Amino acid sequence: MTDNLEQKALITIFGGTGDLANRKLYPSLYHLFSKGYLKKNFAVIGTARREWSNDFFRDKVKESIQDIATSSAEADEFASHFYYQSHDVTNKESYVSLKTLSDSLDQKYDLAGNRIFYLAMAPNFFGIIASRIKSEGFVDTKGFHRLIIEKPFGHDLESAKELNDSLREAFHEDEIYRIDHYLGKEMIQNISVIRFANSIIESLWNNRYIDNIQVTLSETLGVEDRGRYYDESGALRDMVQNHILQIVSLLAMEPPIKLSTKEIRHEKVRALRSLRVYEGEEVLKNFIRGQYSAGHAFGKELKGYREEDNVNPESNTETFVAAKLLIDNFRWTGVPFYIRTGKRLAGKATQIAIRFKDVPMNLFSGDMAALGGNVLVIHIQPNEGITLHLNVKKPGQGMETMPVNLNYAHSSPDGMNTPEAYEKLILDCLRGDATYFSHWDEVSLSWNFIDHVADVWKGTDTHFPNYKPGTMGPDEADELLTKDGFSWFKVHEEE
């Protein structure tokens, strides 16, 4: 490992005692440490309201990496870079002691004034933290200053704008790293390579050859302990506004003139600008929502959404969304992008299916339907890889056809929502590469699109709950495609 891999920085994590920090951030930082990206010149400050000592905090950090640490000596060495500061984000005084600690660590570890501020806590405090970071002089050092901010980035366009304005008081757009952890996933980053490094793919990547594109993000979990947040959010804001629209923009964008952050973002923004914004009746025709009922699935009795903790017993919040999106430009006019996501579905999987048009006529025995269409499937998780579905001759006499799959799979490091996505994103931020973070222009276009849907839904009745756990959502989600003559490409065997 050469020395120039090493990144120097002070990383201050607001929400340092939280679930995200323990499950994702500390393991990711440890991976960066064990690979030599973080070595001697780094320090991490964890802040939260609780009164913890450095030793107690370091024990927690070590606990969070116990399954991945190669030796206890290495875990000790890693944890020795961690410091804890009890902090009340609304209290000005708190920032004074935090700043003193920051400056001393800067000296002690020779950090060149490089600072990353990671906001891993309730979004209502994002604005105040950013403005104190500015007013108390945290960003007056010589090095770089970057803000990593977790979702949700607002709950509609207006609140997102407000939040953005408050962040912009302290940070420039190019210093703000808005996390969308899907953008850190290996196979999401692979979309551009699959498209732009393969002439046989990119030359077919348009409305002359593609029939429809399907994006499925399905989960088996319910809302778990996040009822309070989720009941205000719902699947539309929780998954579609960010992860799904980001994936759609990567699938739909034009080839960038080069692989720079600026050029890629420019093309993603153009794709999002071409997304047809639905109004009134169009929303009801093209967007389907669902909510899970109680039921038996995965070998146990499960509560309905309305019975979950911290959820309104009469809640009309959607736990499932399916939709038909249209992109009005030369490349995509006429090609529906079907999307779906939901909780308590038949399996945990994220998959993109690109269905190519049928051949003009079937020269072989049977009708057209017997000849399976060509489909390119990009498996995001839990499996990672691509499958191309083709037709070949059945061995033996005659000219009967049969489907075959060309498979490329590489094993996913350790299942879903791995720290690896965070690891990549934190390293990108340390290096100043914002390609796989959401730019404000993308966020605002996405919110504008989502707000139109949410407004229409707010004013119309629902018939919730309308799907059972362990299924793939309400029947209307299937009808959305059958009325166009299509069907969902299976994600799970049970489907």
* Contact positions vs ligand BG6 (CB under 6 A): 181, 219, 238, 350, 416-417
Contacts of 130 (CB under 8 A, 6+ apart): 147, 166, 167, 169, 170, 171
Q: What radius of gyration do the chain's Cα atoms show?
A: 24
Instruction: Find the shortest distance in angstroms from Cβ 299 to ligand BG6.
Output: 21
Name the nearest CA neighbour of 286 among 277, 296, 298.
Answer: 277
Q: Is the dihedral of CA 163, 168, 172, 173 positive or negative?
A: positive
- Using the minimum distance from each CB to ligand BG6, give the nearer residue, 417 or 435: 417
Instruction: Check if the beta carbon of residue 459 is closer than 8 Å to that of residue 280.
Output: no
Name residue 423's amino acid: E
Contacts of 300 (CB under 8 A, 6+ apart): none
Instruction: Find the shortest distance in angstroms from Cβ 180 to ligand BG6.
Output: 8
- Using the minimum distance from each CB to ligand BG6, give the nearer residue, 85 or 317: 317
State how far the Cα of 97 lies from the Cα of 85, in Å rounded to an integer: 8
- Using the minimum distance from each CB to ligand BG6, give the nearer residue, 151 or 265: 151
As annotated, the binding site for substrate includes: 181, 185, 219, 238, 343, 348
Contacts of 5 (CB under 8 A, 6+ apart): 35, 36, 37
426's tokens? 């934190």
State how far the Cα of 230 lies from the Cα of 95, in Å rounded to an integer: 31
- Using the minimum distance from each CB to ligand BG6, give the nearer residue, 24 or 265: 24
- Using the minimum distance from each CB to ligand BG6, give the nearer residue, 175 or 420: 420
Q: To which residue do tokens 């320090």 refer? A: 43
Cα 357 to chain centroid distance, Å, stands at: 29
- Using the minimum distance from each CB to ligand BG6, give the nearer residue, 47 or 350: 350
Residue with nearest beta carbon to ligand BG6:
417
Find out whether the peptide bond into 152 is cis, omega within 30 degrees of 0.
yes
As annotated, the binding site for NADP(+) includes: 49, 88-89, 151
State how far the Cα of 67 lies from the Cα of 78, in Å rounded to an integer: 14
- Using the minimum distance from each CB to ligand BG6, give the nearer residue, 170 or 215: 215
Q: To which residue do tokens 């730019």 refer? A: 439
266: number of Cβ within 10 Å: 16
Instruction: Find the shortest distance in angstroms from Cβ 238 to ligand BG6.
Output: 5
Instruction: Find the shortest distance in angstroms from Cβ 184 to ligand BG6.
Output: 9
Burial of residue 10 (CB within 10 Å: 0-12, 13-18, 19+) is buried
Q: Is the dihedral of CA 269, 275, 279, 285 positive or negative?
A: negative
- Using the minimum distance from each CB to ligand BG6, give the nearer residue, 371 or 421: 421
243 is catalytic: yes
* Beta bridge partner(s), residue 378: 352, 386
Q: Is the dihedral of CA 44, 45, 48, 51 positive or negative?
A: positive
Choosing from 31, 145, 155, 243, which is the catalytic residue? 243
**DSSP states along 61-80:** HHHHTTTT-S-HHHHHHHHT
CA distances to 20, 98, 376 from 78, in Å: 19, 21, 43
Instruction: Find the shortest distance in angstroms from Cβ 416 to ligand BG6.
Output: 5
Instruction: Find the shortest distance in angstroms from Cβ 451 to ligand BG6.
Output: 19
DSSP conformation class of 25: I
Instruction: Find the shortest distance in angstroms from Cβ 419 to ligand BG6.
Output: 11
Name residue 83's amino acid: Y
Instruction: Find the shortest distance in angstroms from Cβ 222 to ligand BG6.
Output: 10
State how far the Cα of 182 lies from the Cα of 172, in Å rounded to an integer: 24
As annotated, the binding site includes: 49, 88-89, 151, 181, 185, 219, 238, 343, 348
Residues that are catalytic: 243
